Structure 1
């Protein structure tokens, strides 16, 4: 180890903010899934001006990340704001690296904990930037389908009301991942359950979901049927002037009407 390389001995997440504070740009190379999540969520919660962030990862890592609506919507927010770019490569075989203007952090896992080595060696940093800037240029752009979180919030308020948005975000903030490990409570299920709690029309919430990019109307319909089969929601016909009646979503059991703990109750 060189004289100006040192082991990171604090919580790994606590090294990210200082890195962001001191850098104009950060190149994130070959992140493992847990490292990628930690860095992206740290970036999403960073309260000061972010450096320019670029990620060069394997396709599997990015595809896995966007399966989690919480992480994907935060990533989409960063991309939408022009703060993050994502590219893929199948040729990176090195450790996870965070490379800023004047330091490089090699991330490793020891005893199930993230840690790493930090170096400020000028030659090492320069060589790493040169090498991986070249790899970045040859990488393929990765596109997200998930909408940014701010768009989800704004459209919920505009199209379905503040109460629906408040309930959706309450559940969003009460869980670590969407879907969770059992894959039952995904973003569409949450939207439908929140819609049922507020007795909105299935047509309105499924149209919102499709227009926003959360999911198709067909996905909303299938998920509604699954929630009905589990006895969690039901629908009531609402006559309209022309055409078939619309369906209003309602919660079935009284014990699901506590929206504060809806996520915990549904996955119990």
Structure 2
């Protein structure tokens, strides 16, 4: 197999990663029971000096998982054009990719996918090449071993290396988890940082992006409210040099959404001249008492309740949510 004969699709097919115009991680992941992603992780785990080209968002979590099970020199990964931009708005996956880069486990560039029937994606190492093949919506992984066809493997690797070298160097505009948590401990406190660390370790890659119903910003505001932090301090942390999760001003709407749904309150705290500061405080017992890993399900449950025209949870929905389970049960 060479880079040009790994399948029978068209160049138009190769330009697609099976998600049309999806540009956000949350629009693509999580994708349950994804045979292609599982095949990629299994194929890459334990290999060294991997070089890849045309990697879509869909396969990045598999690449990271396989890299954790491998050692050796950094893997060179050329992603598709929209991937790195989407990572800048993906707290979970973006911070994981940034961590791998900072630890020199992977090196990320941006380049165009391959054409000529490869499905656009090729992984190569000295003794093996794996290409994504097949029609759109039915992608599979085709493998060639060096023992069976050394010329094909050498050709595929040369193609992947050439494409990586030609790809554009790029920066993931999301902090690594190490920097994210260190800044949280310094600006906020250890309790908040421990909550965040537990959450990041438990969430799937596509959860809590910039476009999800409960956004990453709402999640962070809720965590801060569990520990009575000032809203100003939370926004100072997200704007800290090297953190930059999102513009600080974008958190106001998410704070109000949590207030409207009865999860937190904002308490005005006069502190010298100027406008009073706002202290965030959790008022929902479930949010306050939950383990950090349970916070996402609590937020989703409350955001799923019907709201009135002003965005507040309707009185009837709120009462129903607080009645004892035996009073709500219908026989």
TM range (shorter): 0.7 to 0.9
Shift of 1:30: 1.4
**Aligned 8 A contact 1:179 1:187 in 2:** yes
- C-alpha displacement of 1:81: 2.6
Q: CA RMSD in A?
A: 2.9
Structure 2 residue matching 1:98: 3-state secondary structure: strand
- Alignment of 1:220 with 2:268, yes or no, is no
Q: Deviations over 1:152-209 (max 9, x none)?
A: 1111112211111111222223321332697033332221101000000001011001
Cα deviation, residue 90, structure 1: 3.0
- Residues 214-241 of structure 1 show CA distances to partners (whole Å, capped at 9, x for unaligned) of 1121012232122223332211122213
Aligned twin of 1:63: 85
Q: Greater strand share, 1 or 2?
A: 1
Cα distance change on mapping 1:181 and 1:207 into 2, 3 Å: closer
- Report the equivalent of 1:149: 177
1:35/1:114 contact within 8 Å kept = no
* Aligned equivalents of 2:237, 2:175: Cα separation in 1: 12
* Equivalent-residue separation in structure 2 for 1:50 and 1:70 (angstroms): 25
In structure 2, the CA distance between the partners of 1:60 and 1:170, relative to structure 1 (3 Å rule), is same
In structure 2, do the counterparts of structure 1 residues 28 and 125 end up closer, same or farther at CA, with 3 Å as the change threshold? same
Note if contact 2:123-2:160 (Cα within 8 Å) is conserved in structure 1.
no
Aligned to 1:5: none
On the 8 A contact 2:46/2:70 being kept in 1, the answer is no
Please report the TM-score for the alignment, with normalisation by the length of structure 2.
Answer: 0.69
> Any stretches of 5+ residues in structure 2 without a counterpart?
3-34, 302-331
TM-score, reference length from structure 1: 0.83
Corresponding residue for residue 73 of structure 1: 95
User: 1:104 aligns to what?
Assistant: 129
Q: Aligned residues, how many? A: 257
Whether contact under 8 Å (1:58, 1:92) holds in the other structure is no
Question: Which whole-Å CA distance do the structure 2 matches of 1:85 and 1:234 have between them?
Answer: 43
Aligned counterparts of 1:47 and 1:207: Cα–Cα separation in 2: 36
- Following superposition, the deviation at residue 257 of structure 1 comes to 1.6
**1:109 and 1:230, CA in 2 relative to 1: closer, same or farther beyond 3 A?**
farther
Q: CA 1:118/1:158 → structure 2, altered by over 3 Å: closer, same or farther?
A: farther
Structure 1 unaligned spans of 5+: 3-7
The answer as to whether partners of 2:46 and 2:69 remain within 8 angstroms in 1 is: no
